[in-house]
Amino acid sequence: MPYLLQKFDSGMHYFLIDEAVAASFLRSRNNRVICTINGTESFHCAILPKKDGVFL
């Protein structure tokens, strides 16, 4: 599923994902994932809770 890469004012980058997607990973008590940008660049990430049922 494609997501838009966003940036905090501090310079940190993130993807916003909805609660249903995050829950599928968090059920296994694993918040570490590998994100891939445009099918070429992969990097380690963590799923972190934000407000209103949204996750980073």
8 Å CB contact between 31 and 48:
yes
8 Å CB contact between 18 and 26:
no
Query: Model's pTM, two decimal places?
Result: 0.68
- Residues 6 or more apart in contact with residue 30 via CB below 8 angstroms: none
Find the helix or strand (DSSP H, E) in which 23 lies. helix 19-26
The percent of residues above 90 in pLDDT, for the chain, comes to 11
Dist. CA 47–CA 23, nearest whole Å: 10
pLDDT band at 21 (very low <50, low <70, confident <90, very high): confident
Asked if the model's pLDDT at residue 27 lies above 80, the reply is yes
Indicate the average pLDDT of the chain: 85
Q: Tokens in use for 6?
A: 């966003």
